[in-house]
């Protein structure tokens, strides 16, 4: 029985989970670096902070082998909010306004794109080089994951990616539906992402229809 458990095949991590993981670990300081800081500075406050971290319940940071990565990251997000760390919205508000003069993203607006490229893009004929599924995430978790995903895709010189928001048939506690779908153009128009984006279009049925969107990224200037 033990050998069989040890040789179980590990599942592949999805691009959505990779983006989410990158978003959550962006500000994590390696333990080795923290120990070095403690040796270099010999600061009593830092020592107290390190002691508090050591006494923190394992459930806040450890990933259970029986839980999904998405579940653990969602719990990490709840812990982050409890510690009042900056949210994705805060990051957008403090970001450098690199999109000065750029129009707000509007789904279906192909201004500045040649007709042939626009036609292939809207009809889903461009190769989809990456995708992220935000369906089922809270707004703040989805926002941070989207930021990380789009930036990583742009740095990797990808051109067309797919963002799945879901149609939002389930209402929240206030009776609102489709919040991720509604928020997507706003998030893509924020200073952090807008400079990387050329256009956004609703996906074709085969790629998710009304619950998904194609995002056309700009090419990096070398």
Residues 21-48 pLDDT 10s: 666 566 555 555 555 554 554 444 544 5
The reported pLDDT for the residue numbered 33 is 56
**CATH pick for 97-217 out of 3.40.50.150, 3.40.50.850, 1.10.3720.10, 3.30.1370.110:** 3.30.1370.110
Q: Which helix (H) or strand (E) holds 47?
A: helix 44-54
Residues 121-152 pLDDT 10s: 999 999 999 999 998 899 999 999 999 999 99
Domain residue ranges of the chain, discontinuous segments joined by +: 8-92, 97-217
* 204 pLDDT more than 80: yes
Contact 219, 202 (CB under 8 A): no
Residues 71-90 pLDDT 10s: 455 445 544 544 444 455 55
Question: Among residues 154, 151, 208, which one has the least CA distance to residue 181?
Answer: 208
Extract the tokens encoding 57.
């319940």
Contact 126, 159 (CB under 8 A): yes
Contact 70, 24 (CB under 8 A): no
The reported pLDDT for the residue numbered 83 is 46
């Amino acid at each position: 029985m033990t050998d069989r458990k040890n040789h179980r095949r590990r599942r592949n991590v999805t691009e959505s989970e990779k983006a989410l993981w990158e978003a959550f670990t962006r500000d994590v300081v390696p333990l080795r670096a923290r120990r070095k800081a403690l040796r270099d500075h010999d600061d009593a406050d830092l020592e107290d902070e390190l002691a508090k971290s050591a006494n923190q319940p394992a459930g806040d940071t450890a990933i259970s082998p029986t839980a999904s990565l998405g579940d653990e990251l969602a719990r990490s997000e709840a812990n982050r909010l409890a510690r009042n760390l900056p949210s994705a919205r805060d990051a957008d508000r403090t970001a450098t306004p690199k999109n000065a003069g750029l129009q707000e993203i509007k789904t279906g607006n192909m201004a500045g794109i040649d007709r042939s490229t626009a036609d292939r893009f809207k009809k889903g004929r461009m190769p989809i080089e990456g995708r992220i599924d935000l369906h089922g995430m809270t707004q703040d978790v989805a926002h941070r994951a989207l930021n990380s995903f789009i930036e990583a895709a742009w740095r990797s010189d990808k051109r067309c990616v797919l963002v799945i928001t879901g149609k939002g048939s389930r209402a929240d506690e206030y009776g609102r539906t489709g919040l991720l779908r509604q928020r997507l153009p706003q998030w893509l128009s924020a200073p952090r992402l807008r400079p990387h984006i050329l256009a956004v279009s609703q996906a074709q049925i085969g790629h998710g229809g009304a619950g998904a969107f194609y995002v056309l990224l700009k090419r990096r200037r070398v």
